[in-house]
């Protein structure tokens, strides 16, 4: 069981980075531009001239979430504070100032030493603005954003919960991930989708079939009543479209362009329910006609955990610029779990 969990965690981290990097050159291009560059088959691999894939802020912030969990385990600092500090360190890599004094967070962590994370790869405006305007650590951001910037970075919370299932039940997993997203995204869809996704990742990492994991996440979301209704509506739509075996080319018309969190969550759930393997699902995600890199990142985290032994995971990882940084972060993440025997680490 422990070996299986660690394989799923490796697969989830790497799958997210792969999907992010595959979708990076596709995002913001019109349908006509995509057809002109790659034809009707779309992107099938990394398309930069050097053959390398380049991840964006989605993967950067995911790695900083993992760093916060590592430091929390080491120091005992409240996790929400550790998360906020980590995201402020990410803000430093993007060369933006914050109102919170830098000496309260700059001396911590290890990711600031990684040059690859100092590249500005299309950071989300909501995340930047919220972190720049924050005045107190751990305080929720008051705005009406339901973008996916909170959702796309919380998968490590689900992985951590799977490593510590007795201490991290569904309620705690959902609450912590929602609070982490609420640091930047104030609309309920912007932060409750993060809670839902972290629970989904927890359940899948623990070995539940994806359909059962979706149902478990839905049951918990139902306890929130009307507040969670819009998210439930999109997840139910994903279940329905997947159950009817609607092909991907038609299915994407139901879910929207993926610029908001509930749409991307539904796309990821659909792909988790329908993709026969990692390669098929991640290529579909990366060719999404909207927010391709974030669709790829979020779907990739789920698909990687589900299909952790897919050979394309290792194949594509070696061609990602900064893959060593990702693997170091995963190793430190697993090492920070006191219950995990070292022989299960790579």
Evaluate if residue 336 carries a pLDDT over 50: yes
Q: Which of 252, 291, 256 is nearest to 271 (CA)?
A: 252
Mean confidence (pLDDT) of the chain: 93
Is the confidence at residue 139, as pLDDT, over 70? yes
**Burial class (CB within 10 angstroms; exposed 0-12, middle 13-18, buried 19+) of 337:** buried
pLDDT band at residue 346 under the 50/70/90 scheme: very low
**What is this structure's pTM?**
0.95
Task: State mean pLDDT over 316-336.
Answer: 96
pLDDT, tens only, 83-138: 999 999 999 999 999 999 999 999 999 999 999 999 999 899 999 999 999 999 99
- 4: tokens are 């299986």
Please tell me the predicted confidence (pLDDT) of residue 73.
96
Helical H runs in the chain?
2-23, 31-38, 57-75, 79-93, 125-133, 155-163, 170-182, 188-205, 210-222, 229-243, 248-255, 261-274, 278-286, 292-306, 311-317, 323-335
Q: What is the CATH number of domain 2-344?
A: 1.10.4080.10
Gap between the Cα atoms of 260 and 58, Å rounded: 14
What percent of the chain shows pLDDT beyond 70?
97
What residue spans define the domains of the chain? 2-344
Distances (CA, A) of 329 to 10, 43, 115, 209, 248: 10, 28, 14, 27, 33
| Position 341 confidence tier, pLDDT thresholds 50, 70, 90 | very low
- What is the residue whose two structure tokens read 């909170």? 150
pLDDT of residue 2 exceeding 80, the answer is: no
HSE, CB side, 13 Å, CA atoms: give it for residue 232.
15
The predicted-structure confidence for 7-37, as pLDDT tens digits, reads as follows: 999 999 999 999 999 999 988 788 788 888 8
Query: What angle is formed at CA 297 by the lines to CA 222 and CA 73, rounded to 5 degrees?
Result: 75
């Amino acid at each position: 069981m422990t070996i299986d969990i660690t394989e799923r965690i490796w697969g989830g981290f790497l799958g997210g980075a792969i999907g992010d990097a595959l979708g990076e050159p596709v995002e913001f291009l019109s349908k006509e531009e995509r057809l002109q560059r790659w034809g009707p088959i779309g992107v099938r691999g990394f398309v930069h001239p050097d053959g390398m894939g380049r991840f964006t802020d989605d993967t950067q912030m995911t790695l900083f979430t993992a760093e916060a969990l590592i430091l929390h385990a080491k120091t005992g600092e409240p996790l929400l504070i550790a998360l906020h500090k980590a995201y402020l360190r990410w803000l430093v890599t993007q060369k933006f100032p914050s109102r919170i004094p830098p000496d309260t967070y700059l001396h911590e962590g290890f990711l600031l030493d990684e040059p690859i994370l100092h590249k500005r790869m299309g950071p989300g405006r909501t995340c930047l603005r919220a972190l720049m305007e924050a005045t107190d650590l751990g305080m929720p951001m008051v705005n009406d954003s339901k973008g996916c910037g909170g959702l796309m970075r919380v998968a490590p919370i689900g992985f951590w919960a799977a490593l510590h299932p007795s201490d991290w039940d569904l309620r705690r997993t959902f609450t912590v991930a929602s609070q982490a997203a609420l640091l930047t995204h104030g609309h309920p869809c912007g932060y409750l989708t993060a809670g839902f996704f972290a629970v989904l990742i927890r359940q899948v990492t623990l070995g539940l079939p994806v359909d059962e994991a979706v149902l478990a996440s839905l049951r918990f979301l139902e306890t929130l009543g009307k507040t969670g209704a819009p998210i439930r509506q999109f997840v139910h739509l994903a279940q329905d479209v997947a159950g009817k075996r609607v092909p991907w080319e038609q299915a994407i018309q139901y879910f929207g362009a993926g610029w908001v969190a509930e749409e991307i969550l539904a796309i990821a759930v659909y792909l988790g329910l329908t993709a026969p393997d990692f390669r098929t699902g991640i290529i579909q995600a990366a060719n999404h006609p909207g927010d391709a890199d974030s669709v790829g990142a979020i779907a990739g985290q789920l698909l990687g955990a589900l299909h952790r032994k897919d050979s394309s995971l290792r194949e594509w990882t070696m061609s990602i610029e900064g893959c060593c940084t990702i693997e170091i972060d995963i190793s430190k993440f697993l090492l920070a779990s006191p219950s995990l025997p070292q022989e299960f680490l790579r």
